[in-house]
Amino acid sequence: QKEVEQNSGPLSVPEGAIASLNCTYSDRGSQSFFWYRQYSGKSPELIMSIYSNGDKEDGRFTAQLNKASQYVSLLIRDSQPSDSATYLCAVNINSDKIIFGKGTRLHILP
């Protein structure tokens, strides 16, 4: 059973601090990795994708991938109250199937 694991949280971070979200996956053959943000009652929204080992930065967001350790993370710098949401890690098993983790609830404390 291919799996994607995330700590469900909630993760509480003071406003302005760095939020660090982590994800591990079981399928060593996975090539594509994604972070989605989901506000309560809304649908998921893609915020980052990463395909190669290392870091990828986009504004306040940095995705980190370590395929040897089967580990993906998302850093959010200068956290804002509007960042409070559930963050879903997703992994492509093959080009036609994607597996989501259960999500980590992030709460930014004003």
Partner 1 sequence: DAGVTQSPTHLIKTRGQHVTLRCSPISGHKSVSWYQQVLGQGPQFIFQYYEKEERGRGNFPDRFSARQFPNYSSELNVNALLLGDSALYLCASSPDRGTDTQYFGPGTRLTVL
Give the residue carrying structure tokens 């404390």: 109
Tokens of 94: 């093959």
Number of residues assigned to the chain: 110
Residue owning tokens 């649908």: 43
Return the residue matching tokens 């943000």: 37
- Beta pairing partners, 107: 12
Which of 4, 13, 47, 63 binds partner 1 (CB under 8 A)? It is 4
Residue from the set 13, 35, 37, 44 that interacts with partner 1 by CB under 8 A: 44
d(CA 104, CA 84): 10
Nearer to partner 1, 45 or 55 (CB): 45
Window of 14-22, 45-53, 55-63, 65-73 that interacts with partner 1 by CB under 8 A? 45-53
CB of 11 to partner 1, least distance (A): 16
Nearer residue to partner 1 within complex by CB, 62 or 92: 92
Under rule CB under 8 A, residue 100 binds partner 1: yes
